[in-house]
Structure 1
């Protein structure tokens, strides 16, 4: 990537962080038109559309960024962004597939697991959604009461419908 392009990308990201979403998006659209095969520009362009609540516009850029290849940190974000975008649009099956693919690549990603659980809820897979959420809470909570009952929460996470 040329130095000027990298500078423009940095400016667009800075503008997004400052809440200047439209200005950021305009720069990113220009960049993606000039460098359509750059995965980072596609990823940032997708993110900019999500920030503007224009999820439908984000999909093609997330998909392209993922297919071209991104460094792990950005790839995680792209899977999470694309899966969440599909979910927000009511495309739950597509969301589920994206999260499944993402979790194959990043099985320890707790945030992706939580967003996957939200999609499972939308698909009326309540037991599996609760299992993932309970297990994730047990694994990540710093709350002393949760920590005290960690083993019980983990044990019951996949047994919510059982009666003893």
Structure 2
């Protein structure tokens, strides 16, 4: 029921129902995750954080866990805690190394931490490894070579 509300964009009803359900079952990881999702979607990021944290602590299914990592990390980042986001994304990428959405959010966090060059390098490599654009792929080897040292010049 709450999941359907979230998937259909009825975040306020989902928030109210998840909060009510949590009064009876506060240690339910899924309900905490749903509450976090609803708060986040409503622009109540600060209120979402403790629900994300508790959901992850209690343990989620693999699918919800990936989503909670993205939601919490992104929320840390946009609420001014990029250091927390970086640590969370590092942990998440150890568990889910092939998840490119986690990589993108991690790259944005590196940018926020002033690691612009590293962020750009990672973004270029991710792009060249995941794109199906034939123009980019025709230069993949050169792009990846130059991405290793964006400041290099050759004379």
Normalising by structure 1, we get a TM-score of 0.89
Give the whole-Å Cα distance in 2 for the aligned partners of 1:71 and 1:12: 16
Distance (Å, rounded) in 1 between the aligned partners of 2:28 and 2:17: 14
2:42 to 42, 52, 55: 52
Q: CA deviation at 1:156?
A: 2.1
Equivalent residue for 2:113, pick from 99, 113, 123: 123
For the pair 1:69 / 2:77, whether they are aligned, the reply is: no
The aligned counterpart of 1:150 is 140
- Counterpart of 1:91 (choices 81, 97, 113) is 81
CA drift at 1:152: 1.9
Mapped pair 1:41 → 2:24: no
**Residue 161 of structure 1: SS of its match in structure 2?**
coil
Instruction: Find the aligned partners of 1:51 and 1:150 in 2 and give their Cα distance.
Output: 37
Indicate the residue corresponding to 1:136 in structure 2. Answer: 126
Take 1:56 and 1:162, find their aligned partners in 2: how far apart are those partners? Answer: 42
The RMSD of aligned alpha carbons is 1.2
The secondary structure found in structure 1 opposite 2:149 is coil
Question: What is the aligned residue count?
Answer: 154
Q: Secondary structure at the match of 2:17?
A: helix
2:17 aligned with 1:27: yes
User: Tell me, which stretches of 5 or more residues in structure 1 are unaligned?
Assistant: 1-10
Distance 2:62 2:148 in 1: 30
Q: Deviation of residue 37 (structure 1)? A: 1.2
Q: Does 1:114 align with 2:104?
A: yes
Deviates more, 1:73-82 or 1:30-39: 30-39
Does the aligned pair in 2 maintain the 1:127–1:158 contact within 8 Å? Answer: no
Measure, in 2, the Cα distance between the counterparts of 1:36 and 1:157. Answer: 48
Distance in 2, Cα, partners of 1:81 & 1:63: 10
